[in-house]
Amino acid sequence: MDKKEFRVLMKYYFLKAKNTVEARTWLDAEFPDTAPGQSTIKDWYANFRRGEMSTEHETFPGLFRLVEDFPPNPDELEWKVKRNKPEICSLT
């Protein structure tokens, strides 16, 4: 079972008002060799409590995302920050 599927199961248990210990116990019983650890379950429950219900994993959700891909020549870049997101514009 992959990580995304475990996140869906954790979300299911969260929505059933089960706590992290109950979720861990159930996952360990059903998937003894591959179940996520207690700290992972706690982290995902914290996300769900904050209203972040997506089960997609964002590597660095706090970092800015680029509007465009980098052009081949980095010397031609100008960084502008709008609404806390960098925007790359060509100077040429």
Q: Is the pLDDT of residue 84 over 80?
A: no
Q: Are 77 and 86 in contact (CB under 8 A)?
A: no
Q: How many CB atoms lie within 10 A of CB 87?
A: 14
Domains of the chain with CATH codes: 3-49 (1.10.10.1450), 60-92 (no CATH)
- pLDDT for residue 83: 36
Task: Give CA 35 to chain center in angstroms.
Answer: 18
Q: Are 50 and 61 in contact (CB under 8 A)?
A: no
Query: pTM for the full model?
Result: 0.61
Q: Are 6 and 27 in contact (CB under 8 A)?
A: yes
pLDDT tens sequence across 23-49: 999 999 999 999 999 999 999 999 999
Q: Are 10 and 41 in contact (CB under 8 A)?
A: yes
- pLDDT for residue 81: 43
Distance CA 46, CA 23 (A): 13
